[in-house]
Amino acid sequence: MVFISFNLPAHHATSALYDFETIGNIEGEVTFLFWRNPHVRFKVRSTENGQEHIWEVESGSVNSLQRSGIESSLIEVGDQIKVEGRMSRLGRRQMYANALTLPGGEEIRLSGRSRILDSAAASAEEGNRQPRGLFRVWQLDGYGDLPDFALTPAAAAARETYDPLTDDLALSCVAPGLPSAMRNPYPLEFIDQGASITLYLEEWDGLRTIHMSSQDGEEESLPTPMGYSVGHWEDTALVVSTSQISYPYADDLGTPQSTAVTMVEHFTLSENDTRLHWTASVTDPETYVGTTFWEMFWKYTPGEQRKPYNCSLPEE
């Protein structure tokens, strides 16, 4: 068996493609711009030692940039800009942008900016003092501590063959399934449907149905990336058991996942209903030696809203 540490999630494994410790700078003309999810991408034509080169640059998602007050009007094709960012681990002319210097000289940080909330929505929510418990929009508040876990020899060998440039399904706008779909930096929203609970995940426009009143039809349901979920209440905690998951990867680093995987989640509210603690125990005898444990936290922030994701592929 092989022990590994769990990494924080990243869209199509940016940590595998870019060296976060090596920062570089380029300057040149924007020749291509794609302002859509999952990541904003653009190309810069630069001149180095008298030769022209094309650099491929990407940044965060449209949603994360919008929440920082950055819109698509920031740059245009033809602009002369400077880019500071994390360099490719593969020796390519590729970069993950941290900051831009615009034609007028203004420097714009693309990460670490303050979050901007909808003030009108926040005021409306503050005015509504009705208790809502779980059924609201939740904003990420931390990933929690996850222990190392052990892979079976077969799973470890399969993980070594994973190539993020060709095998990453996100590059084709294929949304992830459980359990990895839950580990993302975007808001989620619970809606009470009576006999079921709908859980919307902003990232990839994810949709889960948690059956609360009956398990009829479970045996006949086909495996799907989000599986088949059955929930019940233990005091104020929502407990959800999920099976029939068809997604082939446990994370975005190529850890394989079999159809034998099962997951038990606990969504537990804080005493004042403003913080949500999530734990999940994941069992997959073909991938893990024993059970793996996942953890995350969300918080309630008035004015936070779930945005559409609308993943798209560039056409060049």
pLDDT tens across 279-301, in order? 999 999 999 999 999 999 999 99
Does residue 312 carry a pLDDT above 80?
yes
Angle, vertex CA 5, rays to CA 285 and CA 282, nearest 5: 35
CATH architecture of 125-299: Beta Barrel (2.40)
Mean pLDDT of 82-97: 96
Estimate the share of the chain in helix, then strand, then coil, as percent rounded to the nearest 5: 15, 40, 45
Please identify which residue in the block is written with the tokens 């039809």.
217
Band (260; pLDDT cuts 50, 70, 90): very high
CA 156/CA 185 separation, integer angstroms: 27
Class of domain 11-109: mainly beta
In this structure, the strands spanning 137-142 and 149-151 are: unpaired
pLDDT tens across 136-166, in order? 999 999 998 766 689 999 999 999 999 988 9
In this structure, the strands spanning 228-234 and 206-211 are: parallel
According to DSSP, residue 291 is labeled: E
Mean pLDDT of 50-56: 96
Does residue 277 carry a pLDDT above 70?
yes
Structure confidence at residue 314 (pLDDT): 86
Structure confidence at residue 115 (pLDDT): 66
Q: How far lies 267's CA from each of 242, 264, 296, 311, in Å?
A: 14, 10, 10, 28
Does residue 8 carry a pLDDT above 80?
no
Surface-to-core class of residue 294, CB atoms within 10 Å of its CB (0-12 exposed, 13-18 middle, 19+ buried): buried
Percent of the chain with pLDDT over 70: 86
Structure confidence at residue 9 (pLDDT): 46
Find out whether 30 and 75 touch, Cβ atoms under 8 Å: yes
Q: CB-hemisphere CA count at 13 Å for 185?
A: 12
Does residue 169 carry a pLDDT above 70?
yes
- What does pLDDT average to over the chain? 89
Structure confidence at residue 6 (pLDDT): 47
According to DSSP, residue 124 is labeled: H
Helix, strand, or coil here: 165?
Answer: coil
Find out whether 142 and 297 touch, Cβ atoms under 8 Å: yes
> Which token pair is 48?
């180095």
Structure confidence at residue 171 (pLDDT): 87
Mean pLDDT of 98-121: 80
Mean pLDDT of 108-120: 70
pLDDT tens across 218-230, in order? 555 789 999 999 9
Residue span(s) of the chain under CATH 2.40.50.140 come to 11-109
The answer to which of 106-110, 124-128, 260-264, 273-277 has the lowest mean pLDDT is 124-128
pTM, 2 dp: 0.88
Looking at per-residue pLDDT, the higher value among 217 and 27 belongs to 27
Does residue 34 carry a pLDDT above 60?
yes
Structure confidence at residue 126 (pLDDT): 55
Percent of the chain with pLDDT over 90: 78
Structure confidence at residue 125 (pLDDT): 56
Structure confidence at residue 15 (pLDDT): 77
> Which token pair is 235?
């005091």
Residue span(s) of the chain under CATH 2.40.128 come to 125-299
Highest mean predicted confidence (pLDDT) among 100-114, 117-131, 270-284: 270-284
